[in-house]
A = this chain, B = another copy of it.
């Protein structure tokens, strides 16, 4: 129980030099002789000195910590993004505080306040599904705190954003359904107040128009993408005189659930119903049939977001960009109609 932590004063004392000299040595300042530098490092090692980041942060006015807000780390996309962000953060010698908004606006506000109290050097965020107004971000943004948004972004905030082309991805997915032989494709979409989901819906409808495939009534649904919404949607569709022969879901998890709901209706995938999702998860390989998807590059989006944040921290006047990451279509068995 050698409870006490060694400080630079302890080193200074035992070497009969000034604490400031020790600090310079430890931070390999240019204004230090190689001899003392060596002496200090030696002694620090010997005494088991470890920097107190709290004290250092207080006097340096930067914490070397960045805050990350994600809706939910359980989702594969976000846990990939976290890994990408963590890697870059570490390369930059910084630390990461992760917090989950659990899709709650209130919680998001709390987290921002917490991060501010913590004096994080910058914030990376993917907005909660409830968030349509961003006044709570603007408060801190206006104080000069650097932000980067990714995936679930809001274009009203003047910061770098890392996104995918949702319209393009949805267009690809719908086109693939049509190419696979679907003539009555349907879309299970997210809330329309959310631009991201509007874009996915628009990509879907435009692809149909382009290929002269009619969009049937009730075949374009806007929901909150909950499990209940999935069941309700399927029920609605199965009641139609001619149900859909292909479904494009706006999220990965709803698509997965859809495979089971379809089975409960004795609908065969892909023969009766082709299925493709926006978002790709490991589980897509394990369903039977395996599930086609538009893959979002989570790790790359995360690492790119982090790189841009560090750029913004280093140079507050650096240009704010809109980075659009490529999407990839993964064709699996759920869209292999005979």
Name the distance in Å between A323's Cβ and chain B's nearest Cβ.
24
Residue from B5, B52, B116 in contact with A50 in the complex, judged by beta carbons closer than 8 Å:
B116
* B residues near A55, Cβ cutoff 8 Å: 58
Within 34-75 of A, Cβ neighbours of B (below 8 Å) are at 50-55, 57-58, 63, 73-74
A256 near B118 with CB under 8 A, answer: no
Known contacts: A2-B143, A98-B98, A260-B285. The answer to whether A54 contacts B63 by CB under 8 A is yes
Asked if A304 lies at the interface with its beta carbon under 8 angstroms from chain B, I say no
Name the distance in Å between A310's Cβ and chain B's nearest Cβ.
18
Name the distance in Å between A258's Cβ and chain B's nearest Cβ.
11
* B residues near A285, Cβ cutoff 8 Å: 260
**Given known contacts A50-B116, A95-B97, A282-B283, what 5 new A-B pairs fall within 8 Å (CB)?**
A50-B117, A51-B117, A54-B63, A55-B58, A73-B79
Within 189-214 of A, Cβ neighbours of B (below 8 Å) are at none
* B residues near A95, Cβ cutoff 8 Å: 97, 114, 118
Among A80-88, A164-172, A239-247, the stretch that binds chain B is A80-88
Asked if A12 lies at the interface with its beta carbon under 8 angstroms from chain B, I say no
Asked if A237 lies at the interface with its beta carbon under 8 angstroms from chain B, I say no
Asked if A1 lies at the interface with its beta carbon under 8 angstroms from chain B, I say yes
Name the distance in Å between A60's Cβ and chain B's nearest Cβ.
10
Asked if A303 lies at the interface with its beta carbon under 8 angstroms from chain B, I say no
A143 near B5 with CB under 8 A, answer: yes
B3 near A143 with CB under 8 A, answer: yes
Of chain B, the residue at the smallest CB distance from A288 is B288
Asked if A326 lies at the interface with its beta carbon under 8 angstroms from chain B, I say no
Q: Which 10 A-B pairs have the closest CB atoms?
A: A288-B288, A283-B283, A53-B117, A3-B144, A74-B79, A286-B287, A98-B98, A54-B57, A54-B58, A53-B118
* B residues near A1, Cβ cutoff 8 Å: 142-144
Asked if A137 lies at the interface with its beta carbon under 8 angstroms from chain B, I say no
In the docked arrangement, what's the CA distance between A118 and B63, Å?
A: 10
